[in-house]
Structure 1
Amino acid sequence: MHNTVFEDLLRALGDHWIAGTDEAGRGPMAGPLVVAAVMLPPGYTHPDIDDSKKLSAKKREALFDVITQDAISFCIQVIEPEVIDRINIYEASRRGMTDCLRALDPVPQAVLTDAMRLYESDWREISLIKGDHKSITIAAASILAKVYRDRLMDQYDAIYPMYGFAKHKGYVTKAHKEALSKYGPCPIHRRSYRPVQEALHAQLSLFEET
């Protein structure tokens, strides 16, 4: 991806330190939310950096190393399921992104997000629909978040092998719903998500019948 239009525009406005932020794991019913923020060197391009969902797992893994080596600064934050259940997924995303951006060194003067408003006054903010297609900086953040979360879900698969986390990464699939119905929720299932609530109610009904 060579799309640096918005980065170039912000630098023309006088913002030298520009960061992009994105997340992985808003939709799954199990596992953490992972948020990343990245600041790339001015004028940085790379032909393979693109929306993480368009890349193979092997390509994402290779680009993870490239981005972390080439970035001026980056931050990755993990928000656990119990936090998501307590404050909701949108607020967890917003807080995680804000915390990641503030952890960058230097602190950004401008921020690019993927259709996510942070409502912060510490920097100029541009929210882009399909931002990971339009900005190399957001795309880089999406890759870091996706790879880091996938690695975590592979680790959870070893702890809870009956759910198949290595395959579906916690997303709602037929196999995942069947495992949830059979075994009930495990500690990393999000209790505020409807399929998990339904499984908990089903378990409770069984206890009430005995």
Structure 2
Amino acid sequence: MIEFESIAWENNELLVGIDEAGRGPMAGPCVVCGVVFPQGYLNPEINDSKKLSERKRQDLVDVIYNDALNVELIVVDVETIDEKNIYQATKDAMIAIAKKSIAKVVVTDAMPFQLSEKDVQSVVKADQKSISVAAASIIAKTTRDQLMVEYDRKYPAYGFAKHKGYGTKQHKEAIIKFGRCPIHRTSFRFKDEHQISLDI
């Protein structure tokens, strides 16, 4: 999990790992996070957020904030997602974090971009290869999940606490029954929202 960190640390450089949570859902923000650990940092418990239980992710949040040199978060709102499209909105947030970071080396989870003053590496499944990206995935995921739980209290008809805004059958049926609420992404549509029964 420190393949990329080791190279950076050997060159006496810091590395920021950047990941996101929420590119795929039909509702709610996308949360982008960057994490910088001190040189030589190790923690075998930190892994890709998708491989960890909800409780384990929560347990690691305080550890990451305590151990990291820097944690940077950007919450990309629905309006920005609809205006730019989800890919560009996510990319812009990652670039902003990379530019601001104290680290010269940047590793993203499969999001390519270039910055003249940084060494940017786009790595497929980086959250399974870099402890910094894995930590970013944990912070992004837990932050977004908590936001969706709060939205569930505000808009209880949609079940956001359960599906976190993803396009489940329950969620799509709620949209058909109640229409869209303010945190739904208008740029995300599914097949014939006016039909009564769904073939999902």
What is the TM-score with the length of structure 2 in the denominator?
0.93
Would you say 1:137 and 2:104 are equivalent positions? no
Distance 1:32 1:45 in 2: 31
For 1:180, the equivalent position in structure 2 comes to 175
Structure 1 residues 9-41: Cα deviation after superposition (integer angstroms, max 9, x where no partner): 1233x2512110000000000000000000001
For 2:71, the equivalent position in structure 1 comes to 74
Structure 1 residues 86-106: Cα deviation after superposition (integer angstroms, max 9, x where no partner): 1011111111111123333xx
Structure 1 residues 99-120: Cα deviation after superposition (integer angstroms, max 9, x where no partner): 123333xx21100111111222
Contact 1:15 1:109 in 2 (8 A): no
Q: Which of the numbers 9, 13, 20 marks the counterpart of 2:17? A: 20
What are the residue-to-residue correspondences of 1:1-210 with 2, within 5 Å?
3-12=1-10, 14-104=11-101, 107-195=102-190, 198-199=192-193, 202=194
Q: What RMSD in Å do the two structures reach over aligned CA positions?
A: 1.4
Contact 2:18 2:107 in 1 (8 A): yes
Distance 2:192 2:134 in 1: 35
What is the TM-score with the length of structure 1 in the denominator?
0.89
Q: Which has the larger radius of gyration?
A: 1
Contact 1:4 1:43 in 2 (8 A): no
Q: Answer with 117-126 or 135-144: which moved more.
A: 117-126
Amino acid at match of 2:65: T
Distance 2:119 2:98 in 1: 12
Distance 1:102 1:110 in 2: 11
- Structure 1 position 47, deviation (Å): 1.5
The share of aligned pairs that are identical, in percent, is 50
Structure 1 residues 150-186: Cα deviation after superposition (integer angstroms, max 9, x where no partner): 0000000000000000000000100000001000000
Unpaired runs of 5+ in structure 1? 204-210
Contact 1:50 1:133 in 2 (8 A): yes
Contact 1:75 1:101 in 2 (8 A): no
- Structure 1 position 122, deviation (Å): 2.2
Say which structure is richer in helix: 1
For 2:198, the equivalent position in structure 1 comes to none
